[in-house]
Structure 1
């Protein structure tokens, strides 16, 4: 007795894996920057104030250590997702392009939201040109 044919989902799993790995790569960079950035000092002071504690170098060191730990965890998750996407994907080029695009956009969004970095029109034009180039390379790979 044969089993009925299974229906494929409209979204390939490699795409979601590659997008997620790019997002975790951006988070990895975010936490790496927060490990050494001045924003972490402000955050530690805000935490101390919120809980009615005195601001201390120990609390700041603890927050920086947490950021470093999250950096490592995000890096591990990113590599796990990326290697799964490579295994499931139709080509390494398409997976790499998808991962890079996701990382690029997530990094820009984190920079704007968390670090109040200005991302001007020229940056978006450059990002669009890079994206178009990635799409052209991906199309060359075939379906």
Structure 2
């Protein structure tokens, strides 16, 4: 029996790259905040306690240094993915909009999970309005004649 041809994915590669780039941008922000945040001090103390070590400023400095290193690594990965998405995408506007929307959503979710930040209904309303604006700009960029935005 002949092998079946692999089914082609319907997801465009630029979308995956742009979403991943936005997620790494959000992680970049998390590690940047952890580099200077009080939560990092508490984490270093918990880590010392877990391993039966004395809490020391050196351990905290190492944890902050690791966060700074991860910040740099996430930034490099984000830019690499973003430039690949720009190369593979149909337009820079669509890639940028997808990247920004992904970054915005991932930042909110990571803020709630990592820093226990409250994200209220007004924030979600603003995010929905920004998303709708991104869709309208993307429709205009795509050349849809039925869009609400007049061509200039």
TM-score by length of 2: 0.89
Alignment of 1:7-26 (within 5 A): 8-26=8-26
Compute the displacement of 1:103 (Å): 0.3
Compute the displacement of 1:142 (Å): 1.1
Alignment of 1:107-118 (within 5 A): 107-118=107-118
Deviations 1:30-57 (A, max 9, x none): 0000000000000000000000000000
Q: Which sections of structure 2, spanning at least 5 residues, go unmatched?
A: 1-5, 144-152
Compute the displacement of 1:88 (Å): 0.1
Q: Which runs of at least 4 in structure 1 moved beyond 2 Å after TM superposition?
A: 6-9
Equivalent-residue separation in structure 1 for 2:22 and 2:111 (angstroms): 15
Equivalent-residue separation in structure 1 for 2:117 and 2:8 (angstroms): 42
Task: State the Cα RMSD in Å.
Answer: 1.2
| SS of residue in 2 equivalent to 1:84 | helix
| SS of residue in 2 equivalent to 1:141 | helix
Aligned to 2:88: 88
Compute the displacement of 1:7 (Å): 6.8
Equivalent-residue separation in structure 1 for 2:64 and 2:121 (angstroms): 33
Compute the displacement of 1:8 (Å): 4.6
Q: Which sections of structure 1, spanning at least 5 residues, go unmatched?
A: 1-5
Equivalent-residue separation in structure 1 for 2:109 and 2:142 (angstroms): 31
Equivalent-residue separation in structure 2 for 1:7 and 1:35 (angstroms): 44
Is 1:67–2:96 an aligned residue pair? no
TM-score by length of 1: 0.94
Aligned to 1:78: 78
